[in-house]
Structure 1
Amino acid sequence: MTRIDAKFAELRKEGKKAFVSYVMAGDPDFDTSLELVKGLPGAGVDIIELGLPFTDPMADGATIQLAGQRALDGGMTLDRTLEIARRFREGDNTTPIVMMGYYNPIYSRGVDLFLTQAKEAGIDGLIIVDLPPEEDEELCIPAQAAGLNFIRLATPTTDDKRLPKVLQNTSGFVYYVSITGITGAAEAQAADVGPEVARIKAKTDLPIIVGFGIKTPDASQAIAGVADGCVVGSAIVAELASGKPVSEVLAFVKSLADGAHRA
């Protein structure tokens, strides 16, 4: 059982929905990013998504693209992203960390070496948005063999014919993208998301976590209410980008987490 599996078992026992937060590793700099990540569990975050900066983030809107660019400009690398996880683990051995990003930096490192290093650093799962199920032999299957969850995205355009393929080797949870398009582009609507979550749940026992377009505590509560939890990324990244201190960003995160936990 991975930390992700254990976290969902704990939440089910407590009758709670999950709140997942995305932050970009190294934004705006290493120390600030590490301080933010270390503060997330205390703000009510159940699972941390740690963004791996990349030069061509095709699924991301402007907010996260700019965060990635700030991180890269500040010297952020795959090694330093893993170092954030490693430093976090010095004080927290239970909160799951999912690395979210693109395949190129992993391919460049070499899959076997990357998986060894990720496991050693305390990474629990991967979301690699540009690796479809047809490429499972590249990373998905080796990752699962190494004890990491491989989390797949399902979208409004994932029809019933495609869905079984998407679910085939997915583990940990299914990330349902609530809107068509990029991150931060539109607001998620519970009335649209609910039937889609139910459709996916009919095909899998995995938790369904909904992300993209969730910006407020009320939206967090509404979306978590029709799923097993929700993810917020761009809204948190935008708070940090506005120059607010980490303490204020964490207060905002707590308001979102409280919303999800009320669902």
Structure 2
Amino acid sequence: MIENQQQTIKAWFDKTYLTRGEMYLRPKEAYYIFAELLQVKPNTKVLDVACGLGRMLEVGLDYNAECYGVDISSVAVEKAKQKLPKAEILEANAEALPFNDKVFDFVTCLGSLERMLDKDKVLQDIKRVTADDARICFMVRNSNSWRWVFTKKLFFAVNKKGHQDAKNYQQWKTLFEQQHLEIINCIPDQWPIMRIFQILTFGKFNGYKNKQNSFTPLQYANEFIFILKKN
């Protein structure tokens, strides 16, 4: 049953990356904030779990980090490899990362944990491959956001083939703490407010590396950005 679900998810992402490609993702500049929140340094090792077409890896390379990515979609992996020959990108399930223990200084998993079937297993394996003083960043969907409640739940628009899911702040917090991950910081997703500033400045906004004050209270944010460390 779980294997069938996994294949359904993989097929959905393969089709999405094949037909929509770059249009499925945020632009590169939306990813700088994650590197800044993590304080990525040159010559460190960065892993992006569910890396898609490699947007976060592009940013990591800009910071002169050694970048690795994994994704369940063979289409995404092939496209990312062609675009980013300096990064090591592998097709893999996040529940069984193909790396040795305590390898990475920074790990990101952006907009993907909610789509994974066994979140506990994913978190356990991410912990396994991270160094003791590593920093981990998750961006996860909020089930209390107006977008989830009104456009997904109310109108039955939840993407079941892609295993689209969400949790509220307390549920995500509990999940991380049960896996002995300590929350260093949690802020609202930054891209919505950055998009507003882009519009207000007629495209001249350039503060992509800086945290912006959101108009939305944290509990109602569309997505949460959690910065964590192993406890």
What TM-score do you get using the length of structure 2 for normalisation?
0.39
